Amino acid sequence: MPPDAPALRVDQVSVRFGGVAALSRVSLAAGAGAVTGLIGPNGAGKTTLFNVISGLQRPDEGTVELAGRDITRQGPHRRARLGLARTFQRLELFGTLSATDNIRVALDSFGRSTERSAVALLERVGVAREANAPVSTLPTGSARLVELARSLSINPQVLLLDEPCSGLDERETAALGELLGSLAAEGRSVVLVEHDTELVLRICSVVHVLDFGEIIASGTPDEIRANEAVQEAYLGRRQAGGGA
């Protein structure tokens, strides 16, 4: 593994659904120990990109590298074993199992499952009191946090989070922001897709902006704030011009 390789690198990835290009030659990198933001309007291709990175969608072209290792042809479970975890925009929980068992299924695959270690992870994300309820009965916000705890249970080096704040109130969102910061401080690479642009620009060190399947801007939060193309994509040309 090259010593200077980023934790995650996506290179020239394209995905087409029939005649529609969902992603066109998308390239980005996410470093270890940082939160990287990925924003863009609805339908920009953010979730498709996450599907490509996690192995649920095969790209038509391009490569995905994890710590310098090409994983483009690996199945999703192998990528997870290499240290890549994710959450889903549309919750993907083991709905009939309790929150604890959701975590234990993931811990089992690494051979270190105990009730206590599962509850510890739930505590870390702040939903330990829901440990024994079937997760399909939990409110969306809590369920998202259980999903986050489950993704942490495989001790990931790269963590893809798809709109983790939807369903959370203001206080919970702030707490999640802090948690993501502490995860990055542990040396993990966190990639965050989120509609709460305020949060993204506050906690991310680098932000990439997707629009119609293409990266239209990459940079620090300040650079992104000042970028005209981004304002256009989000607000429309006239408003962007008028509002600037």
Q: Give the CA distances from residue 60 to residues 13, 40, 66, 196, in Å, rounded to whole numbers and listed in that order.
A: 7, 22, 19, 30
Q: Supply the minimum distance, in Å, between the C-beta of residue 93 and other proteins.
A: 6
Exactly one of 48, 54, 142, 157 binds other proteins (CB under 8 A); which one? 54
Question: Helix 115-125 and helix 99-108: axis angle, to 10°?
Answer: 120
Q: Does residue 55 bind other proteins (CB under 8 A)?
A: yes
Q: Does residue 140 bind other proteins (CB under 8 A)?
A: no
Q: Does residue 207 bind other proteins (CB under 8 A)?
A: no
Reduced to 3 states, what is the DSSP secondary structure of residue 216? strand
DSSP assigned state of 30: E
Find residue 160's DSSP bridge partners: 86, 191
Closer residue to other proteins in complex, CB, 97/174: 97
Residues 152-171: x where in contact with other proteins by CB under 8 A, - otherwise, as a string: -xx-----------------
Find residue 15's DSSP bridge partners: 23
The span from the CA of 32 to the CA of 73, in Å, is 23
Q: Supply the minimum distance, in Å, between the C-beta of residue 120 and other proteins.
A: 17
Pair of tokens at residue 111: 């051979």
- Contact residues: other proteins, CB under 8 A: 54-56, 75-77, 79-81, 85-86, 88, 92-98, 101-102, 104-106, 108-110, 113, 134, 136-137, 147, 150-151, 153-154
